[in-house]
Amino acid sequence: MDLTLGFLVASAVFAALLSGGYRAPFDPDVLATSALVTLAIWLALRLGQRLGFGAPGREARIDLELGTLVIAAVYVLIEASGGPAGAVYPLVYVVLAFIAAYQPVLRVAYFVVLTLGIEAGLLGDALLTDAGIEHFAAHVAFVGMFTWLFAV
């Protein structure tokens, strides 16, 4: 099984996120559910490989793919439950803290950059306003704090 397919699945989910595909006027329930089911299937396949059932010597790449898929799933949950102002948003910090606790620093840096890129993309034009900058700065601070605390 090619190890780039999970990245392609996550990229498709990120593209839908950034285009507003999990918000009205689309049917967010159907799209979010189908995205989460697809991500869960890929996560299960890659987790099986990571636990030793079919990818010896490729653990680092599988770890990157697993983390990317988990972050994609978290953002689908966030968007489906009301966006960054919803109650599920702190899950981003929990996932990044977990990743930081078990991954080398360079992989953690990849996940931090990925997360902040998604954040910036979701804010879009709002990032050009003072409120958008403050919102993004707060998220950068929390992402940095949680990853640093658990990476050390």
48-98 pLDDT, tens digit per residue, is 777 776 566 677 888 899 999 999 999 988 888 877 777 888 999 999 999
- Using pLDDT thresholds of 50, 70 and 90, give the confidence band for residue 3: low
- Using pLDDT thresholds of 50, 70 and 90, give the confidence band for residue 2: low
- CB-based contacts of 146, cutoff 8 Å, min separation 6: 93, 94, 96, 97, 100
Average pLDDT over residues 34-38: 81
Instruction: Look over the chain and give the mean of its residue pLDDT values, rounded to a whole number.
Output: 84
Q: Give tens-digit pLDDT for 5-17.
A: 888 888 888 888 8
- What percentage of the chain exceeds 90 in pLDDT? 33
